[in-house]
């Protein structure tokens, strides 16, 4: 990504179509930007505008769930089934890195940095990243997408819960600038917590992490209802997770002493200021009913990762029909060929051609911002919002239907504007 203009200077952009998301598309729309903020949106003529010609200008894309730490995977890891075998592949990939965890002293050569840069080049200006214990604030580029860094926490041993909660507190303390070494953290960082999953987090640890999130007013993301084997484990049945955890030496009877359900986890997650139900591939009717009554909760659907694992059809349309916020994520390059939310949208367009294209665009923009608690700044084009935009190059003969042009299979991300910084490949 190359910055090639002063973001403090006023900028006016015109495109063939502008998609505000909060309203209908504007033909030959004009966006005025000053100080990194959108100041006006119209279709008026202005000779001083930079005419981008045959493009669609949409809000910067929002990736509500990814693992930038795995951006050094050259291709999705195999095998993808059974699920615990894929987890072993991820663990093996991590073990194959240098002893420092793959996060070198020079942050620009690490997978988190490269993943953030890739995301920005692909039109994403805001993302939710699941971070590991080795993560440092300076691993993220200061001129890249805004990142909500969700500290991942795993632990089934009840004796380790106090230590793990202390580590989570340390992560949240980074949100206070006084706790950061001078110049070590970019300003485009926010913080959250991520109790990993029901099969890897003790119920008491989950409760403690949500309590911390409430105190700090930060979001919580948790992998939930991701696989059928996860549901099997929670029901108290033997399955692949029991053997997997026992072989790792991570099994603790205390964590599974009582039968649990996804609904139990949702009830805990609902106590957080914002809760992200990551994947949600196997949510049942009771789960959906609870989600419909809990507007602070969102489901993050990762379409191409879902397809790669061969799951049963995702209930995303059922969830939307119930008024539940559904955002999109890319998961990671351990399960997905790239980090492009735009490619997720094109994939869904092929998967569900009858789905309203205006609603489809919302999944990759305002819905993701809402899931992260950032809808006041990101996700739509409107005066007062951050000047975060994705520039989509349209086919030469794109016709007069704005959404047909936007979601044409040949459309692609050309460049993006991040907080008023006009950037390109």
CA 211 from centroid of its chain's CA atoms: 23
pLDDT of residue 246: 96
pTM of the model: 0.95
Q: Across residues 357-380, what is the average pLDDT?
A: 98
Give whole-number Cα distances, 425 to 8, 337, 377, in Å.
21, 19, 24
**pLDDT interval class at 102 (50, 70, 90):** low
pLDDT greater at residue 98 or residue 224: 224
Provide the percentage of residues in the chain whose pLDDT is more than 90. Answer: 86
Give whole-number Cα distances, 13 to 10, 161, 205, 251, in Å.
10, 52, 49, 56
List, for residues 21-33, the tens digit of each pLDDT value.
999 999 999 999 9
pLDDT of residue 178: 46
Of 126, 115, 145, residue with least CA distance to 333: 115
Instruction: Please give the backbone phi and psi of residue 155, each rounded to the nearest 5 degrees, phi first.
Output: 170, 125
Buried b (16+ CB within 10 A) or exposed e, 263-295: bebbebbbebebbbbbbbbbbeeebbebbeebe
Task: Write out the residue limits of the CATH 3.20.20.140 domain(s) in the chain.
Answer: 61-371
Q: What is the mean pLDDT of the chain?
A: 93
Rounded Cα distance, 192 and 293, in Å = 23
Q: Across residues 113-125, what is the average pLDDT?
A: 96
Tell me the three state secondary structure of residue 234: helix
List, for residues 181-201, the tens digit of each pLDDT value.
444 556 899 999 999 999 999
**pLDDT interval class at 313 (50, 70, 90):** very high
Give whole-number Cα distances, 124 to 167, 232, 303, 364, in Å.
29, 36, 16, 9
List, in order, residues 6 or more apart from 302 with CB less than 8 Å away.
65, 278, 279, 328, 329, 330, 331, 335, 336, 344
Q: Across residues 99-105, what is the average pLDDT?
A: 54
What architecture is the 61-371 domain classified under in CATH? Alpha-Beta Barrel (3.20)
Of 48, 45, 15, residue with least CA distance to 34: 48
pLDDT of residue 425: 55
pLDDT greater at residue 9 or residue 340: 340
Give whole-number Cα distances, 376 to 295, 298, 422, in Å.
16, 16, 21
Cis peptide before 79 (omega within 30 of 0): yes
Tell me the angle at which helices 203-216 and 161-173 cross, rounded to the nearest 10 degrees. 20
Alpha-carbon Rg for the chain, nearest whole angstrom, is 21
Cis peptide before 82 (omega within 30 of 0): yes
Rounded Cα distance, 199 and 235, in Å = 11
Of 28, 22, 35, 19, residue with least CA distance to 49: 28
Q: Which fold has domain 2-59+379-424?
A: Urease, subunit C; domain 1 (2.30.40)
pLDDT at 105 over 70: no
List, for residues 232-278, the tens digit of each pLDDT value.
999 999 899 999 999 999 999 999 988 899 999 999 999 999 999 99
CA 393 from centroid of its chain's CA atoms: 23
Rounded Cα distance, 395 and 2, in Å = 25
Task: Write out the residue limits of the CATH 2.30.40.10 domain(s) in the chain.
Answer: 2-59+379-424
Structure tokens at 70: 């795995």
Structure tokens at 391: 């520039």
């Amino acid at each position: 990504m190359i910055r090639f203009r002063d973001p403090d200077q006023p900028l006016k952009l015109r495109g063939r179509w502008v998609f505000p998301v909060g309203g209908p598309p504007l033909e030959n729309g004009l966006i005025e930007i000053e100080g990194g903020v959108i100041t006006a949106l119209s279709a008026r003529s202005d000779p001083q505008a930079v005419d981008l010609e045959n493009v669609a200008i949409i809000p910067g894309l929002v990736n509500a769930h990814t693992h930038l730490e795995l951006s050094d995977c050259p291709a999705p890891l195999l095998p993808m089934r059974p699920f615990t075998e894929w987890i072993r592949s991820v663990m093996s990939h991590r073990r194959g890195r240098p002893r420092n965890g793959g996060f070198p002293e020079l942050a620009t050569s690490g997978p988190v940095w490269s993943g953030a840069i890739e995301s920005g080049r692909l039109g994403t200006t805001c993302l939710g990243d699941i971070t590991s214990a080795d993560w440092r604030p300076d691993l993220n580029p200061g001129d890249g997408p805004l990142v909500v860094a969700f500290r991942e926490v795993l632990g089934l041993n009840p004796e380790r819960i106090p230590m793990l909660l202390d580590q989570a507190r340390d992560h949240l303390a980074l949100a206070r600038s006084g706790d950061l070494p001078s110049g070590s953290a970019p300003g485009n960082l926010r913080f959250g917590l991520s109790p990993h999953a029901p099969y890897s987090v003790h119920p008491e640890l989950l409760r403690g992490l949500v309590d911390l999130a409430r105190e700090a007013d930060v979001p919580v993301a948790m992998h939930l209802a991701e696989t059928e084997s996860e549901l099997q484990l929670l029901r108290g049945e033997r399955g692949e997770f029991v053997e997997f955890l026992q072989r790792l030496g991570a099994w603790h009877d205390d964590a599974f002493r009582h039968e649990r359900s996804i609904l139990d986890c949702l009830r805990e997650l609902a106590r957080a200021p914002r809760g992200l139900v990551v994947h949600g591939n196997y949510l049942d009717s009771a789960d959906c009913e609870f989600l419909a009554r809990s507007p602070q909760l969102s489901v993050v659907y990762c379409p191409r990762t879902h397809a790669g694992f061969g799951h049963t059809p995702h209930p995303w349309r059922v969830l939307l029909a119930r008024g539940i916020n559904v955002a999109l994520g890319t998961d990671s390059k351990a399960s997905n060929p790239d980090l492009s939310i735009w490619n997720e949208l094109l994939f869904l367009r092929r998967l569900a051609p009858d789905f309203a294209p205006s609603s489809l665009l919302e999944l990759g923009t305002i819905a993701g911002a809402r899931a992260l608690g950032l809808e006041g700044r990101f996700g739509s084009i409107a005066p007062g919002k951050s000047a975060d935009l994705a520039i989509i190059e349209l086919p030469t003969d794109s016709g007069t239907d704005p959404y047909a042009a936007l979601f044409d299979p040949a459309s692609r991300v050309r460049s993006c504007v991040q907080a008023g910084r006009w950037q390109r490949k």
